[in-house]
Structure 1
Amino acid sequence: MAGRKINPIVKMVLEFGPILVFFLGYMRLKGQHFMIGGTNYDGFILVTAAFIPLMLITTAILWRLTGHLSKMQITTAVMVVIFGGLTVWLNDPAFIKMKPTIIYLLFGGILGIGLLRGKSYLRVVMEEVVPLKHEGWMILTRRVCVFFLGMAVLNEIVWRTMSTETWVTFKTFVLTIAMFAFFMLQGRIFTEYAVEEGTEADAEADEN
């Protein structure tokens, strides 16, 4: 079901604002330690604790404004609660650092299963935004699947081998820019396999 249209800038702020706030908060509190309830927490843990409700609030606002949330948005919010909560509860930053890996593996795996069945699950969530012929969806799905799995591996390498500050910068900017750049580079698919007006039925017939 398609949601109501909202200002693209408002949508971008709601989706990426919490990530930027997380980055700014970490840069402000990095290296600092706070004693709370007899437990010592560093700045990263406190920023993570603040990030969880902020993410839920912006997701709720997005749902309120559009009347719709994508499966990826819902999954991301759930993962933030689970892994962010574990990070704060166990006072261990490893959990929130693993979150992008789990999300990318989950979606990459789902797309991969669909490809093995000869289907494009990506089409289910994107068709109303980008109508393509069946062949175009299959090509795009294969590329997105590989991209997600590659990002999962890259996130693991960064958080396991580099400093927390490097990972926060990587999470905030590199992953976001990589996502935008990836889809920008798929312009040829969107043009070559675009479904022309009045041919939607033909596209469905191609898939079946």
Structure 2
Amino acid sequence: MTQESSTRPAPQMSPLIRLLIDIGPLLLFFVVDQMSDIFVATGALVIACVISFMASWSMTRKIPVLPTVSLIFVLFFGSLTLLLGDEEFIKIEVSITNALCGAFLLTGLMFGQSFLKTAFGQVLDVDDEGWRKLTFRLGLFLIAIGILNEGVRHITSNEMWVAFRVYGILGLNCLFFFTQIPLIKRHMTEDEDAPAA
């Protein structure tokens, strides 16, 4: 193997393809639920998540940590939903996945580790303090989403919960990350090669 091939950068995925892979399974879940019921939609979600994961891996040759954890939970709770005929399993998956991911991020901070930086450090040039603050906020946000999902699944119908799962949580995620832009900008690291102001 030549030196040039060994130093070749890892394949990159276009933002549009990344977006389709990330939200495609959820949109399919919503559409199938509208056309049939939550059980058929759950089966479609499980299959779509597996296909999306395989597509992501084939394009980047990387196994992302958080999407992998999410896939495992979808497979587990989706299978329970279909095998036992109880839609509460796929509903509670959202609560458990978000709450555990949030707790995981916060636990890492307790031991001086920002797992968010580990996952996205190559995407954002943010200093260590910025990563700590962003990780702390995201950890609390994910736990809050888990708690909110528990409330919604207990007081609404299947159709309302599916709409919340797809559009409500997606909207809250977009709102959260939009509100973090000032924090990210404050903690962006400057190019060391740039001339001093």
TM-score by length of 1: 0.84
- Aligned equivalent of 2:26, options 7, 15, 19: 19
Match of 2:80 in 1: 86
Q: Distance in 2 between matches of 1:132 and 1:188?
A: 12
Per mean C-alpha deviation after superposition, the further-off stretch among 12-21 and 109-118 is 109-118
Per mean C-alpha deviation after superposition, the further-off stretch among 111-120 and 97-106 is 111-120
- Aligned equivalent of 1:188, options 177, 182, 185: 182
Structure 1 position 69, deviation (Å)? 2.8
Sequence identity (%): 28
Q: Distance in 2 between matches of 1:122 and 1:8?
A: 19
Structure 1 position 24, deviation (Å)? 0.7
Q: Distance in 2 between matches of 1:193 and 1:3?
A: 27
Match of 2:15 in 1: 8
Per mean C-alpha deviation after superposition, the further-off stretch among 113-122 and 132-141 is 113-122
- Aligned equivalent of 1:52, options 46, 61, 66: 46
Q: Distance in 2 between matches of 1:9 and 1:56?
A: 19
Q: Is the 8 A contact 1:15 1:59 kept in 2?
A: no
Q: Distance in 2 between matches of 1:7 and 1:142?
A: 28
- Alignment: residue pair count: 185
Q: Distance in 2 between matches of 1:172 and 1:3?
A: 31
Cα deviation, 1:64-96, whole Å, max 9, x if unaligned, reads 012113111111111111000000000000000
Q: Distance in 2 between matches of 1:115 and 1:62?
A: 28
Match of 1:130 in 2: 124
TM-score by length of 2: 0.89
Structure 1 position 123, deviation (Å)? 1.1
Cα deviation, 1:114-157, whole Å, max 9, x if unaligned, reads 22223322111111111211111111111111101100100000
Counterpart amino acid of residue 105 in structure 2: L
Alignment of 1:153-192 (within 5 A): 153-192=147-186
Structure 1 position 169, deviation (Å)? 0.2
Q: Distance in 2 between matches of 1:118 and 1:69?
A: 24
What are the ranges of 5 or more consecutive residues in structure 2 without an aligned counterpart? 1-8
Q: Does residue 1:109 correspond to 2:103, yes or no? A: yes
Q: Is the 8 A contact 1:97 1:159 kept in 2?
A: yes
| 1:58–1:119 distance in 2 versus 1, CA, 3 Å | closer
What are the ranges of 5 or more consecutive residues in structure 1 without an aligned counterpart? 30-42, 200-208
Q: Is the 8 A contact 1:23 1:168 kept in 2?
A: yes
Root mean square deviation, CA, Å? 1.5
Structure 1 position 160, deviation (Å)? 1.4
